[in-house]
Chains A and B, each alone.
Chain A
Amino acid sequence: MKEENDIVLRCSSIVKYFTTPVKFKALNNISFTIQRGEFLSLIGKSGSGKSTLLYVLSTMDTDYEGTLEINNTLLTGKTLNQLSDFRNEHIGFVFQFHFLLPEFSCLKNVMLPALKLGKKSEKEVEHDAYEKLRLLGVADQALKTANTLSGGQQQRVAIARALINNPTIIMGDEPTGNLDKTNSDIVFGIFRELTADYGQTIIAVTHDQDFAQRTDRIIELSDGELLTSNR
């Protein structure tokens, strides 16, 4: 499944400043590449800039210097709308909190990004969504609203949502940060399976050493600098 020379993400000389409360260099000259199918963890102490880096890579934060390429598309300098469309198609998110929309059923939550993409009919999207929920073992919860589910189930629905458009990269910000050991293991297992069996590329910010050690590659940040790239 893995093709070694297939680069999905390339960032060069990323520099980012925070201006409030005082001007402060949050990221300093970060450059690295990610191969397709890699399961990568971003680690570092609190304030090391690991989350900041993830949000730059996610295209949601556009206030940086340097360049970012995903899937051979240069994303630096694109308009916000172009970036929205790009995220919709190419990036799936899993956050520490599930961030499911409380008024909608789990199924609808999973369907929304695909409906937004608009490449398939609602029927097909619904079929896909069931598929993803089944893959994550929460298909039986499909028609419930998010807040009636347990934390682990919610996070699995959120992963299903991240997967719905078959994204190039899944980005996780402490995806297991709010889960107990059992659920963390389940989520890790799902990520592992996705990379191994489906060639899915995953970047996850974590402070869970155990989690990080089991990924393919660790990128460690300290005070905004790249420490190790573990390769």
Chain B
Amino acid sequence: MTQYTLASQIAFVHLMSRKKQTFIAALGVTFGISVFIAMIGMMNGINDLLEDLTLSATPHIHMYRDIQRREPSVMQRLLGNTPLIEVHHERPKNEQKKLRNALTMLDYIRKDPDVYGASPLLTAQVFYQYGQHEIGGTIAGVDILEEHKLFGIGDKLIGGNLYDVLTTDNGIIIGSGLAETMQVNVGDKINVTTVTGTRVLLRIVGIVQMGIGAIDNSRSYSTLHTAQRLLQKDKSFITDINIKLRDLYKAKDKSQLYSNLFGYKAEDWETANASILVSFTLRNTITYSVSVALLIVAGFGIYNILNMTIYEKMRDIAILKATGFSGGDVKAIFMIQALSLGLGGATAGLLFGLLMSYGISKIPFEAKGVINLTSLPMSFSPLYYAIGLVFGLLTTAAAGYLPSRKAGKIDPVEIIRGK
């Protein structure tokens, strides 16, 4: 260890003897790391926001009857699977979308220790009557308490009261976009027509804003009972079950399990949101490639400066070796210089990155409609600061390695006799 303290002493004196070069070399790393931190913070801020929005609004597992499920035709069932028979535009049987034994299934699912909660859902396609206009949309009949537990719907109300939906006959919680379009408020009544032609008068008891335009402009919530009555169905009529797990990464396995167990389609959130997940990966890829490119440039700076230093310090290296410093000692002297530049530069980079991130997070950014935002989203996750530090050290170590090895291999006789 003592040999490294001596090597670091020499390395430090070398660095301090040419402060300007040292500063510029470290500045390269600082720049690379701070841009990395700011970019990754922004990208992850966006990712987190989207993930938050989508995951809070979507279940981990969505179970429903898949009417697209293809069944063999009558002819095929009779004659077996032969290419002689081809049936075009096959239509499904007149099957109800209902999940059979939904309540038993719910009980079963809720008993699973991995499951955080399961909420039954009945979606009714409706037209909201707004004067002579009809606005297409849906009413989700839900167990409102379970829905609150799973998706925090109560926290997203911008008007009214969640529990009123339980106590009010034909009460609904309407999407904020819808409410704005129809110029209605809590306490107002609206007419709703179902696809089968039933017309019902509903009372608005709350206004909900999920933050996603597509949902807020079309969806309302009511009790299961109200929705069943709207569709003129019995009390066991449930079309979907939404499940949230304690660990969302178990969704894939669990959905498989439930699908096999109950014979209904169970879709996990990763499949349902594949396009969003791809965009996460894309953003991360861009960030990492830009940062790596910046760091490579910084690395070349360090490589050049070390190479120059070694050229200038040939004689010193020769005399160190003559007086008993080994090749390894000399290598250590220059590696320590490279790593100090990396450590110093990266630390400054993290600080600058933090400042930049803070600045960016304060930039006003109004985005209404698709996503509700007031300023740019920003992630301050310490993980990326750790990655930045490791990045900086790795690049400088890589940049310093070749020159240091060269210094370690200098033949003192050649230098001393060459004079």
Residue on A nearest B18 in the bound complex, by CB: A103
CA gap between A84 and B2 in the complex, in Å: 16
Q: Which residues of B contact A58 (CB under 8 A)?
A: 322
Per-position contact with A for B382-419: 1 when CB-CB < 8 Å, else 0? 00000000000000000000000000000111001101
Selected from B6, B322, B328, B419, the residue in CB contact (under 8 A) with A93 is B322
Selected from A51, A55, A96, A117, the residue in CB contact (under 8 A) with B324 is A117
Main secondary structure of the interface of B (DSSP, over half): helix
Selected from B16, B323, B329, B413, the residue in CB contact (under 8 A) with A87 is B323
Selected from A51, A87, A99, A118, the residue in CB contact (under 8 A) with B3 is A118
Residue on A nearest B330 in the bound complex, by CB: A84
Q: Is A131 an interface residue (CB 8 A)?
A: no
Q: Which of A2-10, A31-39, A65-73, A108-116 contacts B (4 or more CB under 8 A)?
A: A108-116
* A99→B326 contact, CB < 8 A: no
Q: Is A85 an interface residue (CB 8 A)?
A: yes
CA gap between A139 and B323 in the complex, in Å: 21
Number of A-B contacts defined by CB within 8 Å: 76
Selected from A81, A102, A104, A161, the residue in CB contact (under 8 A) with B323 is A161
For chain A, the bracket of interface size reads: 20 to 34
* A113→B412 contact, CB < 8 A: no
Q: Is B148 an interface residue (CB 8 A)?
A: no
CA gap between A108 and B3 in the complex, in Å: 15
Q: Which residues of B contact A55 (CB under 8 A)?
A: 413, 417
* B326→A103 contact, CB < 8 A: no
Min CB distance A188 to B, Å, is 22
Q: Is B244 an interface residue (CB 8 A)?
A: no
Q: Is A74 an interface residue (CB 8 A)?
A: no
* A80→B327 contact, CB < 8 A: yes
22 sample A-B contacts, Cβ–Cβ < 8 Å, listed by A number:
A51-B417, A60-B412, A60-B413, A81-B327, A81-B328, A86-B324, A87-B322, A87-B324, A93-B323, A99-B316, A99-B322, A101-B319, A102-B17, A102-B316, A103-B17, A112-B320, A115-B6, A116-B6, A116-B324, A117-B324, A118-B3, A161-B323
Q: Residues on A close to B: CB < 8 A?
A: 51, 55, 58, 60-61, 80-81, 84-89, 92-93, 95-97, 99-104, 112-113, 115-118, 161, 165, 173
Q: Which 4 A-B pairs have the closest CB atoms?
A: A88-B324, A84-B326, A99-B319, A113-B323
